């Protein structure tokens, strides 16, 4: 893909830290602000116009995506979106607790202004409410439009781990891998960066907890891509 350094693209960050659950119950995601700032520090210097949204409702997430997708006069090379929240198998939640099925997202961005341009989604969310115990199938069928990449913190049916102090394992690994790629002798395209992050998590990460149920758990990053060319995001 041809990526103009001066008009690199848009980077949306939806950071949901408080999610409405059962009546009078709010689910907290401590450490997520650190993730948001780390992402901004990585991609703003690359020329991305970064927009951060804290605790949007599900409808707000969709509205912001639709607005950016239909901005026909903006000349950008790449579209990027990070969503950090709670989720289920094939779904994510807004701050109001309402769910969005991930298969809705490609259709929103399948617009003339983004035609032929890489569109990247990074999803930091559980794909189930249980620890890694069994293999599950994917809970949604993502439409196969060209030029999309979906990166997930975990595989279908499993949890995504997060530290209240350091942020999520996924965001830390992805950002570390991008930083490493900036200094690599041979350029790394975005899928190579994701493979590097997945390798780091698979080898180095294992949970430790006073609760035996949550001790010794692993995490496997994964992605789904219909990109038709190599994509290099370098300084």
- 132-143 mean pLDDT: 51
CA atoms within 13 A on the CB side of 204: 10
The dihedral region occupied by 31, where left means phi > 0, alpha psi between -120 and 50, and beta the remainder, is left
Q: Could you read off the pLDDT of 17-73 as tens digits, one per residue?
A: 888 875 555 566 567 788 899 999 999 999 999 999 999 999 999 999 999 888 755
Give 116 or 140, the one with higher predicted confidence.
116
Per-residue confidence (pLDDT) for residue 167, from 0 to 100 = 67
Give the sheet arrangement for strand 9-15, strand by strand. 48-54, 9-15, 78-84, 119-124, 148-152, 222-225
pLDDT at 132: 41
- CATH number attached to the domain at 9-225: 3.40.50.1460
Supply the mean pLDDT for the chain.
82
108 Cα distance to chain centroid: 17
- Higher pLDDT pick, 193 / 17: 193
CA angle in degrees (0–180, nearest 5) for 86-151-161:
40
User: Can you tell me the distance from the alpha carbon of 69 to that of 97, in angstroms, rounded to the nearest whole number?
Assistant: 24
Dist. CA 231–CA 71, nearest whole Å: 23
Q: Quick check: 135 pLDDT over 50?
A: no
Find the helix or strand (DSSP H, E) in which 234 lies.
Answer: none
- What is the rounded CA–CA span in Å between residue 127 and residue 123? 10
* Per-residue confidence (pLDDT) for residue 165, from 0 to 100: 58
85-109: pLDDT as tens digits: 988 878 899 999 999 999 999 999 9
pLDDT confidence bin for 230, thresholds 50/70/90: very high
Q: Which pTM value belongs to this model?
A: 0.85
CB neighbourhood size of 219 (10 A): 22
How many beta carbons lie within 10 A of that of residue 154, not counting itself?
25
Contact 79, 118 (CB under 8 A): yes
Instruction: Count the Cβ atoms, other than its own, within 10 Å of residue 161.
Output: 20
Least confident of 50-54, 99-103, 191-195, 208-212: 208-212
């Amino acid at each position: 893909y041809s990526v103009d350094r001066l008009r690199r693209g848009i980077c949306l960050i939806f950071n949901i830290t408080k999610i409405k659950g059962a009546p009078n119950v709010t689910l907290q995601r401590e450490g997520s602000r650190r993730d948001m700032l780390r992402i901004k520090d990585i991609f703003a210097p690359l020329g991305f116009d970064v927009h951060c949204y804290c605790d949007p409702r599900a409808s707000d997430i969709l509205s912001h995506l639709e607005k950016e997708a239909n901005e026909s006069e903006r000349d950008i090379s790449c579209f990027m979106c990070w969503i950090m929240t709670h989720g289920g198998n094939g779904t994510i939640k807004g701050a109001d607790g309402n769910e969005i099925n991930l298969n809705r997202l490609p259709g929103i961005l399948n617009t003339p202004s983004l035609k032929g341009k890489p569109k990247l989604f990074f999803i930091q969310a559980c794909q189930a409410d249980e620890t890694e115990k069994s293999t599950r199938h994917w809970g949604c069928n993502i439409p196969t439009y060209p030029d999309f990449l979906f990166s997930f913190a975990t595989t279908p049916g499993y949890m995504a781990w997060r530290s209240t102090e350091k942020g999520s394992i996924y965001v830390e690994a992805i950002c570390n891998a991008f930083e490493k790629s900036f200094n690599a002798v041979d350029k790394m395209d975005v899928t190579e960066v994701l493979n590097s992050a997945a390798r780091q998590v698979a080898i180095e990460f294992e949970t430790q907890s006073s609760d035996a149920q949550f001790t010794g758990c692993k995490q496997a990053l994964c992605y789904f891509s219909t990109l038709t060319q190599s994509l290099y995001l370098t300084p």
